[in-house]
Structure 1
């Protein structure tokens, strides 16, 4: 019984122990479950924190395997992270470049072996994404067996912002350097004062103006450019500008280094709290010009007061600013009335009341039309016939400033004289028609003015052909078909020009195509015109007399030619030299000031003398060459340098037409020749080539040895000539057709003269030309 009770007690104790153990196990399991749940929550939170972190972790195992998040894979451009590090450069449009992968692999291996941390920044190929890599040996609890842990940061936005800031900083530095350079190079003195109104920066112009050694000495000594005005130093005025916040500008006198007083416009510009900038502009020349303008305007008005022509000036407000005495007299302005400042329309109304305007039916409309002269773009001219018989010529000249210059001229006397002149001309015409001789009067410009009925009959012309008052050249073209020798028409023109321009009497004789013989003479008239008188002498001349006279004329012409060739140099050059010398003296105003128009005439005279001198030289050389009298003074010439000088004399014309001139030759080429005559020959050929070449043409000058001499080729790609034109170009005159009525002078004596000059040196002259292809001239000259 006792054993049973003991067994039951032991069994109860055992059951109680198992119950307690089970309870403890249940309590411990519940506690562990709660811990595991908390750990899972912490793990999820840490994972979420890692996903939201600005950096992504990448684990590189020792065998090259990669562990990382999908976000890092997306950063690298992959849908999923590659398994091995070598696969990061597998694709060209994603991941890393081969160079970046090699550098990363090297750093990872170094970190795995030596636990050395590393940093690296990469920009993914084909993308603007920038990544920062910070790597080290991974903790064994993170990844055992020597793995490398790399934290990857995406700093693309920061990199873009840094790039933008670098560009802005570089641009700011460039702008600042340019601004400093601009201020330093400014021709006007410039300076900067700090907050204490002390000079802190000055430019070179400031240093030069104050005569200092350098800018630092100016700042150290605080040398002021501007003197004190009314006891206030420049620094005080700058302080006032800084306090008011508005710039201060003033005009002061400054004594420069040379001791000269000049006027400067000085400005002080406040720059917020930084200080005050200043600059000084030299306005001495402006003030001098203003004084000169005022003096010129006063002199001009004083001169206008002395003119017999009425002149008035109106400003852009259409108010009278100036009127000389003739203007007031012509418009009937009473003393004390219509003074300066009178409106233009009021002036016209007062003139109408005085009867100094034309009688018009609608005066307001007429006045309105004259008011439009202020806005007209060109000069307005009209005549005002007044009721008292006065005839005024009115010119309205709009001014650039919107004003108007009104000019009145009394033409009553001129019109009366013109009427009397017309009466005299009609009387003279009637008198000429009653004469037996054929008469014609030519103006100095060569136009036919008057003729009688016998003139067209004598020369075989239609009377209607003279109604348009043809020029001498046109008249000679009409006369030429009626001459037995059409070229004699040139002699008629010379007689007319001698009477009108040279004021000399000349006479001549010629035979018409119908067998008649006429004598003609040119007589200068007192009014500047020339009279051509013609007389039919056929009935008074016999054939024998005509032949004898012709023989005598030929003999006389031969003598004249001989004397001409003997004395032409003096007779032609001396007057031209005198004319040119006197014209240059006039141009230099040795005889007194010239007006603008006179200066233009003098310049035209000098230019004409130069052209005529060149033509005379051509004619003299050609005439002397044909007569065998051309002097040749040979000396040794360096051909390339000589031809270069001839071409450079025509440099302006060549550049004006954008012509390319290619000069080829050796410096060693030398020959014996007359530099003047050879230069004229080559110059004439170059002038012809330049004239024949169009815009952007090409001229080739080639110098070379050939056949014991020197060959000079001058070619161009100009308009060229056919065979007929080339043959005519080598002559001085050509006819429009066989036996035609018109003679045409070609462009000059260049080719005949050049050929004569080359042949005078014992050389050869060859020319070839094709239409629209160009012309080539080949010259051969002996060396000695």
Structure 2
């Protein structure tokens, strides 16, 4: 009986041990299955390909697209023409894409690659003709076709915000901005350029984009160039200053509106033409030199006066070249030596630049020029050349006539005194000075001098009264005792121009001193 109990106990222990072993094995088996399934699921999740970028078009109209494809369309432009937007985005990366896509129905399948060396990521385009006008287009990056890239969400958001800001700024700027490749094909353009191109070509644009403005000619050894170009649209011309900046095999173009500058320059040219036409009729030669002392403006009279060749003047010579050429033509005063002449010309230039300056040039040819220098704004200087030969000739003749008249009056024996209606003494001759001494400036002072010489008396009072009536139509006359008790007859005669002449003459029997005595009296005085 004891043996039966032991056997029962052993069987119970054996069954318990077996249960424990089986439980452990079950747990491990379940753990393996769970672990194996998780690893396989994780591996499948990591190795799963990224969702492709696929477009489905029917006769150029988008029928369906994957999520990345729709996101791309949303980023590259407004939703007006899906096919046109996609081709404009693909064109810079695969330039032959548009041409090849037109042959898709004949070829059935296209596999195109591009993007290398153009500053953009590599791109693969797979196009398949599905029949009945349906085309399936797949875009991918062949270098990252089976790779997934993890990007920090905050960094991605910052980049997208910056990209949006830059895109908005470029699309809102009034400048026309575009990019050209080495073959001068336009690979990118901002919204302002696209709008002008659409208005010019009356509709949607294709690829490649049309050229609106001529590019500046490249400068050897420089990465930048500038030129002014015109854009005509519906009969209206717009002007732009086009700047180019080359980077690698790409060139960025910036066209700044220049209508205001062109209008200002045109107004300046019209103003200069008006001045030129006005100055063309002037007999005075005009030469305007800028702040660098280069000739900027002259009139035909300058050529006539200076005999300088028109070709020399149109070449815009400097001021000193201009004066040197005048010296060669003997159109300046003959200097003692070149150094003094050069210094004189330098003084002329500095005096004209600081204020109004006038010189008279007596030329070897006998002509006389008046040269006037005037400063202008911004440091410019204007010179006026005027031929005053006739004026100087008339002045010399007038002076000679005056000298002759004075000599004739001084040769008369009668003493003459001429005054005007205001009592100002105009002239008196040598005979008058011999009798009365040097004349006074006014008639009142003259009468006082007479009274001091001969004293007051009825005769002098009568002369004073006659002088008050000197401008009557009839002459007045009388006699009085002059200096040295000489009897003098006087005659008061009105002249033209509110003037009157008083003449003293010695009365017969009381002659005035002879010529020798007169000169002696003047010398003694």
TM-score band by shorter chain is 0.3 to 0.5
Please, what TM-score do these two structures have when normalized by structure 2?
0.38
Radius of gyration: which is bigger?
Answer: 2
**Larger relative contact order (C-alpha < 8 A, sep ≥ 6)?**
2
Please, what TM-score do these two structures have when normalized by structure 1?
0.27
